[in-house]
């Protein structure tokens, strides 16, 4: 029986701030993008990674995976690449997690277990389950991402989630096909392709992802339901979560700075960066303090670096640099730049250009 529609089942992460994940999710997405003709190897080369040499049994730092996928997403050419890449996620790749779901007593219980053990999925979004009177929704709240990468990442996660549901449907003989899907960005030119892909109505402009499923499907028994086997798989999932839950106490400042480097204009807040790196905001601030820095100092450092680069290399006006760094007024940027460097943006640009000119003159 389903719970009251007024009750909200939110994300339950078993209390572990995840810092590592299975690398399979990354491999599936990169292989999918490559199969679509997208250039992933040039991005990987900058990180010293060879896709064909990755050990599928390895684990990867959550922050590094986010940076890799974001940089790949930024240069994707096909606007439907994220939608298509979800088809590359294999059911077996979820390991004991999928067996945990299949051994549940009912489809509803499987959804509850999926939310509780979501850190064993390939999602970066926060997953929750919202029961309703006739339909219930799997809800995904995506992490903050640069706008140029956001749609690709959301499409990949939604497509991969629906693929998991349909694979389970085929294996269990139940019906998990969505009734409709809501997407959290404006309607794209390719909107019709989404309904063709998901085979259900797709609405755009929502505040988050919602995958709606009829309650009568959730009430069905899982054919492979087995209480004893379920306890065994739950123990395996708990052990996996525990093994990946260690948060490295050193180097968090570098991870925060690297994440902030992904953004222009709308930089995320400390809480959003903490969520993206898999730690609580309190833990993030405490660890940064232990490393003799702070979120504000790191944000200033990243902004200063971007400003210096744009002033010298980008051919962008001071007003344009201010806008790219998220300042509403150039005056605010100029004051901040003086605080960072001890000089004004215009003076910095002139000095650097003089140095470059002298270096060119002295070359043999």
Q: Give the separation between CA 133 and CA 313, rounded to whole angstroms.
A: 58
Say whether both 171 and 285 belong to one domain: no
Cβ neighbors of 89 (< 8 A, separation 6 or more) are: 25, 28, 122, 160, 163, 164
Is residue 1 in some structural domain? no
Tens digit of each residue's pLDDT (9 = 90 or more) over 29-53: 999 999 999 999 998 888 778 898 8
* Exposed/middle/buried for residue 243 (C-beta within 10 Å: 0-12, 13-18, 19+): exposed
With beta carbons less than 8 A apart as the criterion, state whether 64 and 25 touch.
Answer: no
Report the DSSP beta bridge partners of residue 129: 9, 138
Say whether both 85 and 147 belong to one domain: yes
Name the domain boundary from 222, 242, 262.
242
CATH number, position 351:
1.10.10.60
Tens digit of each residue's pLDDT (9 = 90 or more) over 165-175: 999 888 777 78
Q: Please indicate whether residue 193 or residue 174 has the higher confidence score (pLDDT).
A: 193
**Per-position DSSP letters for 8-28, written without gaps between them:** -B----TT----EEETHHHHH
Say whether both 111 and 260 belong to one domain: no
Say whether both 221 and 345 belong to one domain: no
| pLDDT at residue 17, as a whole number | 43
For residue 304, the tally of other CB atoms under 10 A from its CB is 16
Query: What's the average model confidence in pLDDT over 244-268?
Result: 77
Domain count along the chain: 2
Is residue 192 in some structural domain? yes
CATH number, position 187:
3.90.1520
Say whether both 150 and 85 belong to one domain: yes
Query: Rounded to the nearest 5 degrees, what angle is found at the Cα of 225, between the Cα atoms of 91 and 15?
Result: 70
| pLDDT at residue 3, as a whole number | 40
Decide the pairing of beta strands 180-183 and 202-204: parallel
Say whether both 268 and 205 belong to one domain: no
pLDDT grade for 358, boundaries at 50, 70 and 90: low
| pLDDT at residue 11, as a whole number | 40
Say whether both 41 and 110 belong to one domain: yes
pLDDT over 80 (residue 250): no
Tens digit of each residue's pLDDT (9 = 90 or more) over 263-309: 777 788 999 888 878 788 999 999 999 999 999 999 999 999 999 98
Q: Give the separation between CA 120 and CA 36, rounded to whole angstroms.
A: 26
What is the enclosing helix (H) or strand (E) of 183?
strand 180-183
Report the DSSP beta bridge partners of residue 214: 135
Say whether both 220 and 260 belong to one domain: no
Tens digit of each residue's pLDDT (9 = 90 or more) over 80-117: 999 999 989 988 899 999 999 999 999 999 999 999 99
Is residue 9 in some structural domain? no
Instruction: Round the CA-based radius of gyration of the chain to a whole number and report it.
Output: 23
| pLDDT at residue 194, as a whole number | 98
| pLDDT at residue 13, as a whole number | 41
Is residue 13 in some structural domain? no
Say whether both 139 and 105 belong to one domain: yes
Is residue 77 in some structural domain? yes
* Numbers of helices and strands, H then E, in the chain: 17, 7
Long-range CB contacts for residues 180-189, cutoff 8 Å, separation at least 24: 180/212, 181/209, 181/210, 181/211, 181/212, 182/206, 182/208, 182/209, 182/210, 182/212, 183/154, 183/158, 183/209, 184/142, 184/154, 184/208, 184/209, 185/150, 185/151, 185/154, 188/79, 188/151, 189/79
Among residues 68, 57, 61, 11, the alpha carbon closest in space to that of 247 is found at 61
| pLDDT at residue 200, as a whole number | 97
Tell me the residue range of the domain where 90 lies. 20-242
First to last CA, the chain: 82
Say whether both 80 and 211 belong to one domain: yes
Name the domain boundary from 242, 263, 291.
242
């Amino acid at each position: 029986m389903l719970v009251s529609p007024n009750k909200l089942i939110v994300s339950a992460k078993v209390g572990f701030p995840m810092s590592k994940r299975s690398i399979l999710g990354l491999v599936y997405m990169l292989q999918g993008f490559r199969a679509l003709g997208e250039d992933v190897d040039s991005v990987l080369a900058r990180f010293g990674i060879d896709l064909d040499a990755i050990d599928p049994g390895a684990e990867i730092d959550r922050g590094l995976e986010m940076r890799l996928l974001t940089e790949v997403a930024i240069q994707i050419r096909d606007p439907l690449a994220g939608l298509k890449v979800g088809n590359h996620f294999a059911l077996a790749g979820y390991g004991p997690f999928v067996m945990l779901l299949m051994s549940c007593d009912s489809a509803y219980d499987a959804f509850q277990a999926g939310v509780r053990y979501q850190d064993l999925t390939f999602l970066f979004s926060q997953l929750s389950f919202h029961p309703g009177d006739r339909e219930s929704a799997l809800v995904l709240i995506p992490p903050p991402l640069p706008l140029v990468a956001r749609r690709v990442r959301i499409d990949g996660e939604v497509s991969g989630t629906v693929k998991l549901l349909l694979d389970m449907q085929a294996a269990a003989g139940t019906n998990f096909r969505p009734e409709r899907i809501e997407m959290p960005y404006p309607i794209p030119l390719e909107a019709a392709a989404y309904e063709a892909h998901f085979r259900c109505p797709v609405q755009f402009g929502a505040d988050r992802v919602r995958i709606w499923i009829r309650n009568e499907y959730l009430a069905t028994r899982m054919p492979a339901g087995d209480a004893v086997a379920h306890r065994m798989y739950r123990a395996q999932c708990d052990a996996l979560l525990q093994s990946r839950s260690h948060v490295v106490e050193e180097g968090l400042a570098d991870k925060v700075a690297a994440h902030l480097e992904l953004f222009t204009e709308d930089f995320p807040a400390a809480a959003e960066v903490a969520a993206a790196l898999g730690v609580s905001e309190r833990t993030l601030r405490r660890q940064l303090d232990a490393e003799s820095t702070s979120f504000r100092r790191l944000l200033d450092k990243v902004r200063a670096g971007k400003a210096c680069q744009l002033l010298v290399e980008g051919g962008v006006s001071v007003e344009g640099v201010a806008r790219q760094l998220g300042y509403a007024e150039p005056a605010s940027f100029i004051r901040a730049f003086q605080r960072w460097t001890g000089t004004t943006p215009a003076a910095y640009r002139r000095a650097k250009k003089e140095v470059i000119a002298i270096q060119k003159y002295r070359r043999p």
